[in-house]
A and B are shown apart, each in its own frame.
Chain A
Amino acid sequence: MIQINNLSCGYNKISVVKNISIDIKKGSFTGIIGKNGAGKTTLLKSLSGLLKPYAGNILLNGIDIYKMKRNLLAEKLSFMPQNMPIDFPFSVKDFIMFGRFPLMNLFKYATKRDYEKVEEIMDFTETKNFAERNILELSGGERQKVLIAQTLAQETDIIAFDEPTSHLDIGSQSAIFRLLRTLNLKHGKTIITTIHDLNAAGEFCSDLILMNNGIIFSSGTATEVLNYKDIETVYNTTVVVKTNPVSNKPVVIPVFSEK
């Protein structure tokens, strides 16, 4: 579905992502993992149409996304940034409605259908009970759900998330990931997300891309990518990889004692 060919991109003329090529399958739950500064967010932004490459291209169903009209891309792919400036006290409901911007009519006023969709999404993301509250007054977990709801309001087939669960507690984190899994498995959305938590990556992702220093170190299923040799090489720390007894997915356990 998404083909990345020889992509090099970065900031201030310096390439953070260096000549990578990979395909992202339709209907996958792809996680991009790696150290801080490995180029995860850069890659994600680039394949979401937000960072023009220095070299190479990104094709969505065969069309270069940087040659597409921006609003057409917005109908196919949505993106949730890691840090969004939230300065204005909008109500949660209004805030989520902004996500429907590309779908709205010419004068950008919400129709009945828009309101219905937003209600649906609020049910799905369990944000309905604070629909009228001021977004500035929400807790971290609540806000994250609202941001996801806003992204879902765009109703695209491909959704990109940049670290959707950083700064969240275990409970909120699992809730978010379970939401994403339902989106993926039940609603057929292609999810691409950067994650720093390897265990969540292992648990939820169907495919993983392990990045190191701007290149793809390895890619494949969770079990393939999360082996202790590769993790130790990339993260420069001793780990032990076990299997979660309930889900049969790999679990990465860091080893702190001296050897």
Chain B
Amino acid sequence: MKNNLILKFSILSALFVAAFVFSMLSGAGDISLIELFKALFSKTDDNTFIIINHIRLPRFILAVVSGAGLAASGCIFQGILRNPLADPFTLGISGGSAFGASLAFAFGLAAVCWIYIPLSAFIGAMLAIFLVYALNIKKGFDSNSMILSGVVASYIFSAAVMLIFAILSSDKLFSAFMWLMGNLSSFDERLLMPVTIIITAGIAVLCLFGNLINVITLGEQKSSSLGINTARTVKYIFLLSSLITASAVSCCGVIGFVGLMMPHITRKFVGNDHRILIPASAFAGAVFLPVCDTLSRTLLAPVEIPVGVITSIVGGLFFIILLLKPGRKFSL
């Protein structure tokens, strides 16, 4: 079993390297592998250097970090809520961040300073998290009430977003709408460092909680009798995952499907033990999103397709193939 795991992680690592090369070499202009190395390791002033180091590399890093964060977060939510349809946005975070961002667009904050849109998106996400937290504090964070409050939060914020859209002028509306669809092309590089640190640290902590989450899936009574303060633990894990998601969303907008599908796809290969599943999902997300992002900017070059479209199509197809394959039947 151990050897099997090592093999699987090696394959994932190889895929990661392939994704890196694919992302760096694809796009406008022909860049060869040798030129890639030169651009990465020496300093020149030509187009290749700028494209690789100032455009593609930051974008790749953001995709890796966001993909990993969304996938890990989705994995956590599916485990804790014991729901295969859960994803990082089940608890209303997408609604909250959409609301925050739309509000900022409405007030023209996009033109004032680069930081206002991501900051507003982040604050909006935190608002949603706070709302769900407040709704749950008396109920001890059991899975059904969390899902219900997440749905409520989503509806409230969606309504608010639609209200804003109804009264926005058409050009601002368009910017807000494009942001909502999610894309990795318009983030500010200054955000890259803080977001990378938050998400990487967050995922590392979540990986340590692996067995804890396994036990929490056994239900509140059993996990409490095993010595875990279930309500408090769930609260912390949920806040941490939400923080990771909010950070990713503030940079890239709402990219669906990664958080929902990557844990499922990963499960088919490594099983349900969260000690392995969480890092594996993160890793898988770190490979998946950069590939989708590169496809989004190369398929119809020079036109860019919103990355959410690609993640849905690619992820969906892949998952259908997995579902149709004969083999062990999983409930999730």
- A residues near B (Cβ < 8 Å) are 45, 48-50, 70-75, 77-81, 83-90, 94, 98-99, 101-102, 104, 107-109, 134, 136, 154
Q: Decide yes or no whether B82 CB sits under 8 A from chain A.
A: yes
Write 7 A-B pairs (CB below 8 A) sorted by A numbering: A45-B221, A72-B227, A74-B227, A89-B330, A94-B273, A101-B211, A102-B226
Q: Decide yes or no whether B228 CB sits under 8 A from chain A.
A: yes
| In the complex with contacts A49-B224, A108-B212, A85-B229 CB distance below 8 A | no
A98 near B221: Cβ-Cβ < 8 Å: no
A85 near B211: Cβ-Cβ < 8 Å: no
Report which of A79, A89, A98 forms a contact with B332, defined as CB distance below 8 A.
A89
List chain A residues, Cβ under 8 A from B212. 108
Total A-B Cβ pairs within 8 A: 84
A90 near B272: Cβ-Cβ < 8 Å: yes
Which label, helix, strand, loop or mixed, suits the secondary structure of the B interface? loop
A70 near B229: Cβ-Cβ < 8 Å: yes
A98 near B227: Cβ-Cβ < 8 Å: no
B225 near A50: Cβ-Cβ < 8 Å: yes
List chain A residues, Cβ under 8 A from B228. 70-71, 101
List chain B residues, Cβ under 8 A from A45. 221
A73 to B210, CA, bound (A): 23
B211 near A108: Cβ-Cβ < 8 Å: yes
Report which of B208, B215, B217, B273 forms a contact with A87, defined as CB distance below 8 A.
B217
CB interface residues, B 293-327, toward A, < 8 Å: none
* Least CB separation from B225: chain A residue: A79
B226 near A74: Cβ-Cβ < 8 Å: yes
List chain A residues, Cβ under 8 A from B273. 90, 94
Contact-size category for B? 20 to 34
Report which of A87, A89, A101, A109 forms a contact with B227, defined as CB distance below 8 A.
A101
Q: Decide yes or no whether B219 CB sits under 8 A from chain A.
A: yes
A102 near B227: Cβ-Cβ < 8 Å: yes
Q: Decide yes or no whether B328 CB sits under 8 A from chain A.
A: yes
A79 to B227, CA, bound (A): 11
A70 near B224: Cβ-Cβ < 8 Å: yes
Q: Decide yes or no whether B214 CB sits under 8 A from chain A.
A: yes
List chain A residues, Cβ under 8 A from B211. 98, 101, 104, 108-109
B224 near A50: Cβ-Cβ < 8 Å: yes
A88 to B80, CA, bound (A): 11
B222 near A79: Cβ-Cβ < 8 Å: yes
B217 near A101: Cβ-Cβ < 8 Å: no
A78 near B214: Cβ-Cβ < 8 Å: no
Closest 6 CB pairs of A and B: A74-B227, A71-B227, A79-B225, A108-B211, A81-B221, A102-B227
A98 near B215: Cβ-Cβ < 8 Å: yes
A90 to B215, CA, bound (A): 12
List chain B residues, Cβ under 8 A from A90. 214, 272-273
Report which of A50, A84, A87, A154 forms a contact with B331, defined as CB distance below 8 A.
A87
Q: Decide yes or no whether B178 CB sits under 8 A from chain A.
A: no
List chain A residues, Cβ under 8 A from B201. none
A98 to B225, CA, bound (A): 12
* Least CB separation from A147: chain B residue: B222
Q: Decide yes or no whether B85 CB sits under 8 A from chain A.
A: no
List chain A residues, Cβ under 8 A from B332. 87-89
Closest Cβ of chain B to A45, distance in Å, is 7
How does the 8 Å CB contact mask read for B185-216 relative to A, with 1 for contact and 0 for none?
A: 00000000000000000000000101110110
Given A81-B222, A98-B226, 15 new contacts (CB under 8 A): A48-B225, A49-B225, A50-B224, A71-B228, A75-B227, A78-B226, A84-B219, A84-B221, A84-B222, A88-B217, A88-B331, A90-B272, A90-B273, A108-B212, A136-B331
